[in-house]
Amino acid sequence: MKPRVLVLSGCGINCERETAHAFSLPAVGGEAVCVHLNDLIAQPDRLDGFHIMVIPGGFAFGDDISAGIVLATRLRYRLDRPLSRFLGDGKLLLGICNGFQVLVRLGVLPAAKGQKWDQEATLTTNDSGKFEDRWVYLQIDPACPSPFVQGIDRLYLPVRHGEGKFLTRDDDVLRALQANHQIAARYIGPDGDAAPYPWNPNGSVDDVAAVCDPSGRVFGLMPHPEAYTHRTHHPRWTRESLPEEGQGVAIFRNAVHFARTHL
């Protein structure tokens, strides 16, 4: 069985093709379909036929007002029932960069206190005050419950965002995330230690780069795994000996493997 992946498209989302390609790689084994937001709103029951839903990176609705909020509002008020059913069935929901911003503003991430649709965090303007386009090192929490990061220790991936600073609503939410191992990945320096800017490119609290909900099945990250699926995507591919497979592939393979064995 090839798990089916719905990759949301349209309205300013601009990484849907790379994301669909990553899920459809032979080494991953998914069957990805790009579905326009308006088509999904017109036929919401289509979501039932998929095992994984992805909100890719981009600038949905031009990031008007703030990043991701317009798309989050449309999803909340036009697709709340099919999304609730999708999540209730234990299926996988992934948000990358702008998609991560959407899931946080939608309130399905981080859900540290178990309340869906309650916004407990935000992703706001980078401390640098500018758009950050650079490669970063990530340390995965080995105790994180998310299937997306199982078996992964570290990653090297690109970021490209202007609003990537993760902040929790209060200290209680942050402590809950830490205690529940919901901080899936943190920014680190090249030597593996916690490091300031530019290794933490946005100033996120506790160096947060990725979080999941308590079940691990809803997952969001600011870096772009779909942008490193082949060695030629690496910024030093002409100068370093690298494996053919880019490090981002592991995240997509994990998701498809989980869907194939659990859904």
Instruction: Kindly report the CATH number assigned to the domain that includes residue 13.
Output: 3.40.50.880
Amino acid at 251: I
Chain Cα centroid distance, residue 239:
29
Catalytic residue among 18, 132, 226, 234: 226
Of residues 97, 104, 86, the one with CA closest to residue 6: 86
Catalytic residue among 51, 163, 212, 224: 224
Strand-by-strand arrangement of the 132-140 sheet:
31-36, 4-9, 52-55, 92-96, 218-221, 208-212, 183-188, 132-140, 154-161
Work out how many domains the chain is built from and give that number. 1
Number of helices (H), then strands (E), in the chain: 7, 11
Taking CA atoms, 229 is separated from 18, 254, 256, in Å, by 9, 14, 15
Chain Cα centroid distance, residue 152:
15
Q: Which structural domain range is residue 104 located in? A: 4-262
Which pLDDT value is given to residue 113? 82
Taking CA atoms, 100 is separated from 58, 81, 193, in Å, by 11, 20, 25
Query: How far is the C-alpha of 139 from the C-alpha of 81, rounded, in Å?
Result: 35
User: Could you tell me the pTM of the whole model?
Assistant: 0.97
Which pLDDT value is given to residue 99? 98
Query: How far is the C-alpha of 46 from the C-alpha of 36, rounded, in Å?
Result: 12
Taking each helix axis from N to C terminus, what angle separates 98-106 and 69-78, rounded to the nearest 10 degrees? 50
Catalytic residue among 97, 144, 161, 212: 97
97 in catalytic set:
yes
Q: What is the pLDDT along the chain (263 residues), one digit of tens a residue?
A: 899 999 999 999 999 999 999 999 999 999 999 999 999 999 999 999 999 999 999 999 999 888 999 999 999 999 999 999 999 999 999 999 999 999 999 999 999 987 778 999 999 999 999 999 999 999 999 999 999 999 999 999 999 999 999 999 999 999 999 999 999 999 999 999 998 999 999 999 999 999 999 999 999 999 999 999 999 999 999 999 999 999 999 999 999 999 999 98
